[in-house]
Chains A and B, each alone.
Chain A
Amino acid sequence: MSGILNTRIAGLTLEHPVLNASGILGSDPEHIDILASHGFSAIVTKTFTLNPREGYNPPILVELRSGGFLNAIGLANPGIQGIKPLVDRAKLLGKPIIISISGNSIEEFTKIAEVAEDSGASAVELNLSCPHVKGLGLELGSDPFTVFLVAREVSSILKIPVIVKLGLSDRIIESAGKALEAGARALTLINTIRALAIDIYSFKPILSNIYGGLSGPPIKPIALRVVYDVYREHRAEIIGCGGISNWTDAAEFILAGARAIQVGSAFLKNRKVVYEILEGIKKWMNVLGYSSVESLVGRSHV
Chain B
Amino acid sequence: MFRSAKKTRIMILSEKYYYVEFSLLEDLGVEPRPLQFVNIWIPGVDEVPMSISQYTEEKLYVLFKVVGEGTRGLRDRWGFFGVKGPLGNGISLNNYSRVLFIAGGTGIAPLPLLARHAERNGVELDVIWGVKKSSELFDVKTLAPSVNNVYYASEDCIVGYCGRASDLAERFLREHAWRYDIVICVGPKNMLLDICRKAGSLVDVYVSLEAIVKCGFGACGSCILKPIPKLLCTDGPVFKCNEVYKHLEWNSQY
Per the bound structure, the CA–CA distance linking A77 and B214 in Å amounts to 14
Interface pair B214/A58, CB less than 8 Å apart: yes
5 A-B pairs within 8 Å (CB atoms) are namely A24-B218, A37-B229, A71-B219, A199-B4, A199-B43
In the complex, whether B197 has a CB less than 8 A from a CB of chain A is no
In the complex, whether A65 has a CB less than 8 A from a CB of chain B is yes
List residues 18-41 of chain A with CB under 8 A from any CB of chain B.
23-28, 30-31, 33-34, 37
Per the bound structure, the CA–CA distance linking A24 and B220 in Å amounts to 6
CB distance from A66 to the nearest CB of B (A): 11
In the complex, whether A182 has a CB less than 8 A from a CB of chain B is no
Interface pair B41/A200, CB less than 8 Å apart: no
Interface pair B231/A34, CB less than 8 Å apart: yes
CB distance from A217 to the nearest CB of B (A): 14
Contact of A204 among B6, B43, B46, B217 (CB under 8 A): B43
In the complex, whether A296 has a CB less than 8 A from a CB of chain B is no
A: number of interface residues (CB 8 Å): 37
Per the bound structure, the CA–CA distance linking A25 and B226 in Å amounts to 14
- A-side contacts of B228, CB under 8 Å: 30
Interface pair A25/B218, CB less than 8 Å apart: yes
Per the bound structure, the CA–CA distance linking A37 and B214 in Å amounts to 23
List residues 101-139 of chain B with CB under 8 A from any CB of chain A.
none
- B-side contacts of A71, CB under 8 Å: 215, 219
Convert B199-240 into 0s and 1s, putting 1 for each residue whose CB lies closer than 8 angstroms to a CB of A: 000000000000000111111111011111111001000000
Q: Which residues of A contact B (CB under 8 A)?
A: 23-28, 30-31, 33-34, 37, 46, 55, 57-65, 69, 71, 73, 76, 197, 199-202, 204, 206, 208, 264, 268, 271
Chain A interface mostly: loop
- A-side contacts of B81, CB under 8 Å: 202
Closest B residue to A36 by beta carbon equals B229
B: number of interface residues (CB 8 Å): 35
Per the bound structure, the CA–CA distance linking A59 and B82 in Å amounts to 10
The A-B contact count (CB < 8 A) is: 102
Closest B residue to A59 by beta carbon equals B47
Once A201-B25, A202-B80, A206-B2 are accepted as A-B contacts, the answer to whether A30 and B224 lie under 8 Å apart by CB is: yes
CB distance from B217 to the nearest CB of A (A): 5
Q: Which of B4, B46, B79, B224 has the most CB of A within 10 A?
A: B224
Interface pair B220/A61, CB less than 8 Å apart: yes
Closest 4 pairs (CB-CB, A-B):
A33-B229, A58-B47, A201-B80, A202-B43
- B-side contacts of A202, CB under 8 Å: 4, 43-44, 79-82
Convert B173-199 into 0s and 1s, putting 1 for each residue whose CB lies closer than 8 angstroms to a CB of A: 000000000000000000000000000
CB distance from B8 to the nearest CB of A (A): 13
Per the bound structure, the CA–CA distance linking A23 and B216 in Å amounts to 14
Interface pair B1/A268, CB less than 8 Å apart: no
Contact of B80 among A61, A199, A268 (CB under 8 A): A199
In the complex, whether B59 has a CB less than 8 A from a CB of chain A is no
CB distance from A210 to the nearest CB of B (A): 11
Interface pair B46/A57, CB less than 8 Å apart: yes
CB distance from B228 to the nearest CB of A (A): 7
Interface pair A31/B84, CB less than 8 Å apart: no
- B-side contacts of A197, CB under 8 Å: 2
- B-side contacts of A23, CB under 8 Å: 219
